Amino acid sequence: MARIGVFVCHCGENIAATVDCEKVAKACAQLPGVAYSIDYKYMCSDPGQNLIREAIKEKNLTGVVVAACSPRMHEPTFRRACAEAGLNPYLCEMANIREHCSWVHPKSEETTLKAIDIVKTIIAKVRKNQPLYPIKVPVTKTALVIGGGIAGIQAALDIANAGHRVILVEKEPSIGGHMAQLSETFPTLDCSQCILTPRMVEVAQHPSITLYTYAEVESLTGFIGNFVARIRKKAKSIDEKLCTGCGECVNACPIKKIPSEFNMGLGTRPAIYIPFPQAVPNKPVIDRSRCTYFRTGKCRFCESKCPTKAIRFDQNDEVINVQVGAVVVATGFTVLESTFFPEYGYGQYKDVVTGLQFERILSASGPTLGEVRRPSDGAIPKKVVFITCAGSRDPAKGIEYCSKICCMYTAKHAMLYKHKVHDGQAYVFYMDIRATGKGYDEFVRRAIEEDHVKYIRGRVSRVYERNGKIVVCGADTLLGAEPVEIEADMVVLATAGVANPGAEELAQALHISYDRHRFFTEAHPKLRPVETNTAGIFLAGACQSPKDIPESVGQASATASKVVALFSRDELTREPIVAVVNRCAPPLYSTCVGCFMCQTACPYSAIEREELRTRDGTLVKTVARVNPGLCQGCGTCVAFCRSKSIDLQGYSNEQMYAEVVELFAE
Amino acid sequence: MKQLHERAHELLEQKAVSVIIGYGEGTEGRVRPVFIRTLEAVRLLVWDDRCRVNLAVYLNKPEIRKFGFPIAVVSTPATVRTIVQLIAEHQLSIGDVVVLVRENDTVRALIQKEDLEQYARNNPVIFPPFVIEEIELLKKMSIEERFTYWQEELAKCFKCYACRAACPLCYCEKCITDVNQPQWVCVAPHPVGVFEWHINRAMHLAGRCIECGSCTIACPVGIPIALLTIEATRVVKEEFAFTPGIDCNAPSALSTFRVDDKETFIR
Ligand SMILES: Cc1cc2nc3c(=O)[nH]c(=O)nc-3n(C[C@H](O)[C@H](O)[C@H](O)COP(=O)(O)OP(=O)(O)OC[C@H]3O[C@@H](n4cnc5c(N)ncnc54)[C@H](O)[C@@H]3O)c2cc1C
Ligand code: SF4
Ligand code: SF4
């Protein structure tokens, strides 16, 4: 006969305010198999846990039910307490009478009765519980970092400096991400390239970091500590060992007019190119979609100019499989293009640019070599209007969120413009100014007070061209919505930061979740901000939501510490909540008939095939087998199995059935 | 018939198969299954229009399997589809079965995947007209009328499980109705127990039913029980464009998804 202890928690007032906890404890004491039942103010407190520990010893309990909050928070607490008292932790279950009862109902007799019912179902379950033992799995101490922006660079360096191997995969020909495109950075106005390039070089030179640029992760299988990533290294069409990065080929290429991605279309590049002077690695790739040879079969000018004979037109993509123990996703973000905005002319006015384009105009390595000149005619604009929240915080555009960085970089842009064009005038249209970081508000004040940037609170309704000027129509809501019209030479839109194209596909390949806006989601918005819901996969930087550099770097270091903590052990212990295929007496050996429907249903590819043989080696049949390392305990297979041959430990058919039937029992 | 006898003789003489499952003369002018293992017994085989029952069901029975593969089966189009579906569900492998079919008055032996699939695609299962009428009739009924119809029909069921024994796709070694820890399906033949059983059966055959009608033929009290599984499979076909029994490598319709699934059921 079971000897179950029931421990009803008041959770201060959280439960006791609407549920009569004493009554719940008394009612449970009457149930079959219950040997002890008590209520207490805070079960999770030390004295509360002691009550459980002592009762287990004194009353010789064979099972424990804690009627309290969601198991999500405190199940580990109480299971540990049980283990300390010598009871197998999986004989302890929680009945949630807070979220499922006291919080959602008023104080009443019925609320208490419902709480009793909830506890009853869990008691019925615990009667069927079996002791379970944690599963041990080995750890591959190599990390995969996807995305070589500042976040990926930081994570890779931190993990490598802790003594672990890192594989960094970047889809572009160079690492650096958006930070490489920036001119100077708020709030200190230090040159972006100057602080970034040393880190890029460190990555390239680090003995523990393997860098794959022009590469993408195609799939990820396995589980925490034991992933296998399939990486496609796209053909760069050069032999990297021979190439010295001299750049002769780049000069030789006759196709020169391809809009440069790095310069946001404001400059051009050839078909064989190095994206920017400080690129790491500093070796070119051939853009096969643009190369004359690949399109028409003739040209190969670059090949004839290459002093080391490093060009390889016949190179193929290479697909490699690597084993890694943890994954950091740092694939960053992108910004909306001006073509997204009908009210600002759908991108048809050359002098209406995005913030990222303006960074390139400000940058010394940019198309204008750092002089502020407008794209249409190269003239120095004397009046520049900056429009914030272009797309952001605009439910009508499908983007309710604040892109977070635009207020700051717009202040930076206006300031840098004033520093470069002393007689110029800068206007900023804003909804409100969000400058909440360290030194941020001071930075914006400096723009307004020292550099005399004119801030106008209000939205811009329309932008159009008139006699070579760009007319910006808006309203100043601080002056009673008085209409404002500015004839500008140039307009800069602080367009919303959005998820990368392809973010969805990547999330699906990695089995991580993403939100409505296709940003990857963290496991808990407050308490687990850098973890995903998939164990062993972490998030850093703007792929999770738009972020500035300090935040991206901080998050990257946080993921590194998670990875390093994971790698500090040789073995991982996993919860034994996994599916198992049954065994029974001969001649069946198992009721599994090997239809393998479960195998097709399992979202984690955890189901394999196993041959059952008699002792003399004769094959009886081929049945399903669950790899306990891969199984996440979702139970999908259990639902699919027609013969109920597969069952989930800790949530077995018998346990679930007992719970449900208990509700109907009189 | 002569051709069939010749083919059967040849197969047994060359020891190409361990047993031939076919039709033989029964009582009262009906045919019954026969299991031919010797050359002398070959003459018992008959093949005419009365031979409609799906013999593939015997491929799952341990008593037959113990003779060892390959096994030959005298097959109707439904039998071929069943065998293809059993291969897709990993219950048989290519080469396990020599499928004897009639084609343009000759007897053909199908063994390879391509031949089986091609035959299955070209030879649809044809119902007797009354089955089609019955389905149409049921579809025209309101939900309440349909429920009454099934209440009346199923009231006759006394749970002999003949439908299960006759179904070539009910091959589980332990059927869910026999699982008693926990007892998912009530064993008693009262309305709840009977409904639970038949709903389970229809669900387990949705997207897999070959529409051979064996269960209806087997039912001793005449419940048109095939209608449930036939309709369930048609719903699967409509929703997921999936027809069972024509592709030896088809994934199971309900446990997999395709990107072009309509997903209209998600609202
Ligand atoms: C106009 C503008 C001005 C800014 N100014 C400042 C400033 O002054 N100060 C500041 O603190 N912040 C500023 N920021 C914010 C800053 O750019 C970001 O905080 C930073 O770039 C985020 O770094 P990240 O590594 O997360 O992402 P990213 O910089 O976007 O890098 C992501 C990297 O991942 C790669 N990648 C993407 N997908 C894949 C894939 N599937 N596989 C492999 N690799 C992939 C990309 O190619 C890229 O290299 C500004 C942003 C903008 C738009
Ligand atoms: S679904 Fe059930 S019977 Fe089929 S292979 Fe899986 S465990 Fe075995
Ligand atoms: S419970 Fe079943 S379906 Fe879910 S992960 Fe485990 S084996 Fe796969």
The count of structural domains within chain B is 2
Answer with the one of B122, B141, B161 that is the final residue of a domain.
Answer: B122
- Please report, rounded to a whole number, the percentage of residues in chain B having pLDDT higher than 90: 79
DSSP A522: P
pLDDT digits (tens, 9 = 90+) for B148-169: 999 999 999 999 999 999 999 9
Ligand 2: which of A584, A589, A590, A593 to mutate, judged by most atoms within 8 Å of the beta carbon?
A: A593
What 3-state DSSP class applies to A435?
coil
pLDDT at A346: 81
End-to-end CA gap in chain B? 56
| Structure ipTM over 0.90, yes or no | yes
Check pocket membership of A640 for ligand 2, CB cut-off 6 A.
yes
Partner-chain contact B91 A593, CB within 8 Å:
yes
Question: Distance between CA B258 and CA B256 in Å, rounded?
Answer: 7
Distance separating alpha carbons of residues A87 and A410, to the nearest angstrom:
61
Half-sphere exposure of A427 (CA within 13 A, CB side): 26
The per-residue pLDDT for A632 is 86
Position A630 scores a pLDDT of 82
Q: Which ligand is nearest to the CA of A596?
A: 2
Per-residue pLDDT averaged across B198-226, rounded?
94
Q: Is the dihedral of CA A578, A584, A586, A591 positive or negative?
A: negative
**Does B156 fall in a domain?**
yes
Q: Do A600 and B172 touch (CB under 8 A)?
A: no
Tell me if B263 is assigned to some domain: no
Contact A593 B184 (CB under 8 A): no
CB proximity list for A59: less than 8 A, separation 6 or greater = A3, A5, A35, A36
- Residue A178 CA to ligand 1 center (angstroms) comes to 4
Question: Letter for the amino acid at A266?
Answer: L
| Run of H or E including B66 | none
C-alpha distances in Å from residue A516, one per residue of A550, B42, B229, B262: 25, 68, 39, 21
- Does residue B163 sit in the same domain as residue B238? yes
Do residues B244 and B140 both lie within one domain?
Answer: yes
Residue pLDDT, tens place only, B107-153: 999 999 999 999 999 998 887 777 888 888 999 999 999 999 999 99
Q: Do B72 and B154 fall within a single domain?
A: no
Q: Do A643 and B171 touch (CB under 8 A)?
A: no
B39 and B112: one domain? yes
Give residue for tokens 């040159």.
A191
Give yes or no for a contact between A374 and A493, defined as CB atoms under 8 angstroms apart: no
- In which band, very low, low, confident or very high, does the pLDDT at B265 lie, cut at 50, 70 and 90? low
Query: Which of A183, A276, A405 to mutate to test ligand 1, by most ligand atoms within 8 A of the CB atom?
Result: A405
B135 and B97 within one domain: no
The number of C-alpha atoms within 13 Å of A290 and in the hemisphere containing its C-beta is: 17
Contacts of B252 in chain A (CB under 8 A): 595, 597, 600
Instruction: Report the candidate in B102, B110, B220, B224 with the shortest Cα–Cα distance to residue B161.
Output: B220
Angle subtended at Cα A497 by Cα A496 and Cα A502, rounded to the nearest 5 degrees? 125
Q: Is the pTM of this model over 0.90?
A: no
Helix axes A406-420, A355-362, angle to 10 degrees: 30
In the beta sheet, which residues pair with residue A138? A571
Residue with tokens 């029980």: B225
If you write DSSP's letter for every residue of A458-499 in order, what string do you get? S-EEEEEEETTEEEEEEEEGGGTSEEEEEEESEEEEEEPEEE
Does residue B261 belong to any structural domain of this protein? no
Structure tokens at B185: 């399906």
C-alpha of residue B17 to centroid of ligand 2, in Å? 29
User: Which own/partner pairs from B117-124 qualify as long-range (CB within 8 Å, at least 24 positions apart)?
Assistant: B117/B84, B117/B246, B117/B247, B117/B248, B119/B77, B119/B80, B120/B77, B120/B80, B120/B81, B120/B84, B120/B245, B120/B246, B121/B246, B123/B77, B123/B80, B124/B77
B227 assigned to some structural domain? yes
Q: Do A640 and B255 touch (CB under 8 A)?
A: yes
B chain contacts of residue A642, beta-carbon cutoff 8 Å: 172, 176, 204
Return the residue of B nearest to A655 by Cα: B182
pLDDT of B264 > 80? The answer is no
Res B52: pLDDT: 87
The alpha-carbon gap from A623 to the nearest alpha carbon of chain B, in Å, equals 10
| Residue B93 burial (CB count, 10 A) | 12
Q: Which among A109, A126, A41 is positioned nearest to A659, based on CA atoms?
A: A126
Nearby residues of B55 by Cβ (< 8 Å), 6 or more positions away: B21, B22, B23, B33, B73, B74, B75, B79
Return the H-helix or E-strand segment holding A137.
Answer: strand A135-138
Pairing of strands A215-223, A226-233: antiparallel
Residues in chain B closer than 8 A to A595 (CB atoms)? 89-91, 252
DSSP A186-206: TTTTEEHHHHHHHHHHHHHH-
pLDDT score recorded for residue A171: 97
Enumerate domains of chain A plus CATH numbers.
4-128 (3.40.50), 142-234+317-332+500-566 (3.50.50.60), 248-305 (no CATH), 334-498 (3.50.50.60), 579-649 (3.30.70.3270)
Contacts of B263 (CB under 8 A, 6+ apart): none
* B139 shares a domain with B48: no
Query: CA-to-CA distance for A201 and A183, rounded, in angstroms?
Result: 19
Verify that B65 and B178 share a domain, yes or no. Answer: no
Last-in-domain residue among B93, B122, B151: B122
pLDDT score at B257: 81
Asked if A424 and A384 count as a contact pair (C-beta separation under 8 A), the reply is yes
Chunked mean pLDDT (size 10), chain A, 666 residues: 95 96 97 96 96 97 97 94 97 98 97 97 97 93 98 98 98 97 95 96 97 97 92 97 94 94 95 95 96 94 95 96 98 95 89 96 94 95 96 92 96 97 96 94 96 95 93 92 94 96 94 94 94 94 97 98 96 92 92 95 90 91 92 93 96 96 86
For an interface test with B, give the residue of A643, A645, A654, A656 to mutate (most B CBs within 10 A): A643
CB pairs under 8 A between A and B: 53
Residue B161 lies in a domain: yes
Establish whether residue A631 lines the binding site of ligand 3, counting it when its CB lies within 6 angstroms of any ligand atom: yes
In this structure, what token pair is assigned to residue B83?
């065998």
B264 falls within a domain:
no
| Amino acid B267: pLDDT | 58
Q: Which amino acid is at A319?
A: V
Does B112 share its domain with B138? no
Residue-number span of the structural domain to which B25 is assigned: 2-122
Residues B99 and B195 in one domain: no
* A172 Cβ inside 6 Å of ligand 1: yes
Final residue belonging to a domain, choices B87, B122, B157: B122
- How buried is residue B119: exposed, middle or buried, by Cβ count under 10 Å (0-12/13-18/19+)? buried
- Tell me whether residue B260 is in a domain: no
HSE-CB at B162 with a 13 A cutoff on CA atoms is 17
- Under 8 Å between Cβ of B44 and B5: no
Q: Which two tokens stand for residue A82?
A: 């049980």
Measured between alpha carbons, how far is A369 from A665 in angstroms, rounded to an integer? 80
Does A328 sit in the ligand 3 pocket, CB within 6 Å? no
